[in-house]
Structure 1
Amino acid sequence: MTRTGAFGQAGQEPGRQVVLLGVALTLTAVAVDVLLVGSLTLFFDLCFMALCLGLAALVRRQDFYLVALLPPVLMVAVFAFVSLVARDAIADPRDSVLQAVVSGVATHGIALFVGYALCLGWLAWRLHRKGDLVSELEHELGQPAR
């Protein structure tokens, strides 16, 4: 009997779909946190860290680089959006958009660091479990092994 479902599809999703899923789930975590508490809390941080790990597990090998760059871009983009629609959730309402984004990233910097480390670590583990990490990276980059 073959296994189908979420775990059966791990590591097979195209990069574009993984990015869209990341945006949707991050905005969902923001919406839930803002609706329940009125600002971004530890709930958002934990969701973001888990999301970074999950996205690294879902993406196919050909799109590793897209997901490897995703966590900081995702956080800045989401905070830019939040600063336009609910600035008081991440900063002082009188702050400019740029100030609100910087304030949000600074406030949730530990979650960004941990989420990014989890994402990159999981991607590196996926490369390493197939064989020699250096030769796998050279293969992924399209450069011949020396």
Structure 2
Amino acid sequence: MTSASRTLWEQGDEPGYEVAALAVALLLTAATIDLALADRLGLLFDLTFVTVCARAALIVRPAAFFTVGVLPPLAMLAAILLLALVEPASIAHPDDGAVQATVSGLSAHAVALVVGYLVCLAVLAVRNQVQTNRSGSPAPRRTSSG
């Protein structure tokens, strides 16, 4: 790397598993706060989801891009599935079973899921391009041996 200071796109250095755990914890916290303010999961959760997706893509180390690249749908599924199991009325009809509540919850928050996923992938793509331009080679790939 040259003597120039690192840009926002180059500063991520957190391990992927830590970023994933933090993202899920933040989403569950946002869901808890959102449900404390209203009876149903709403806009606060959606906005937090998009913000967490963007931030996760910024703070992860380049070797863990894949982990964060697949994180948004899995994190959304985890939060919605947990709510479907413990409080289905917060995301669906109160009489719905866990599977139907999960499907209803995912469909109700599909816009946030798509926007969050696109933002995450866009940030990772920019970071990869900056890494390529700075070093002349793409960001390191995760190998199965390490």
Q: TM-score, normalised by structure 2?
A: 0.85
Q: Give the corresponding residue for 1:4.
A: none
Q: Deviations over 1:30-78 (max 9, x none)?
A: 0000011111111111110011000001110111101100000111111
Q: Give the corresponding residue for 2:36.
A: 35
Q: Give the corresponding residue for 1:96.
A: 97
Q: Measure the CA separation in 1 of the matches of 2:82 and 2:98.
A: 9
Q: Measure the CA separation in 1 of the matches of 2:100 and 2:67.
A: 27
Q: Measure the CA separation in 1 of the matches of 2:19 and 2:87.
A: 26
Structure 1 runs not aligned, ≥5 long: 1-6
Q: Measure the CA separation in 1 of the matches of 2:16 and 2:132.
A: 23
Q: Measure the CA separation in 2 of the matches of 1:46 and 1:84.
A: 23
The structure-2 alpha-carbon separation of the partners of 1:130 and 1:27, relative to structure 1 and needing over 3 Å to count, comes to: same
Q: Secondary structure at the match of 1:131?
A: helix
Give the CA deviation at 1:80: 0.6
Q: Measure the CA separation in 2 of the matches of 1:10 and 1:73.
A: 25
Q: Deviations over 1:12-40 (max 9, x none)?
A: 11111101101110000000000111111
Task: Name the aligned partner's letter for residue 105 of structure 1.
Answer: L
Q: Give the corresponding residue for 2:127.
A: 126
Q: Measure the CA separation in 2 of the matches of 1:39 and 1:67.
A: 27
Give the CA deviation at 1:10: 4.1
Q: Measure the CA separation in 1 of the matches of 2:67 and 2:39.
A: 32
Give the CA deviation at 1:136: 1.4
Give the CA deviation at 1:141: 6.1
Q: Secondary structure at the match of 1:23?
A: helix
Number of equivalent positions: 133
Q: Secondary structure at the match of 2:138?
A: helix
Q: RCO higher in 1 or 2 (8 Å CA, sep ≥ 6)?
A: 2
Structure 2 runs not aligned, ≥5 long: 1-7
2:138 to 136, 139, 145: 136
Q: Measure the CA separation in 1 of the matches of 2:104 and 2:38.
A: 18
Q: Secondary structure at the match of 2:81?
A: helix
Q: Measure the CA separation in 1 of the matches of 2:132 and 2:54.
A: 21
Give the CA deviation at 1:85: 1.2
Task: Name the aligned partner's letter for residue 87 of structure 2.
Answer: A
Q: TM-score, normalised by structure 1?
A: 0.85
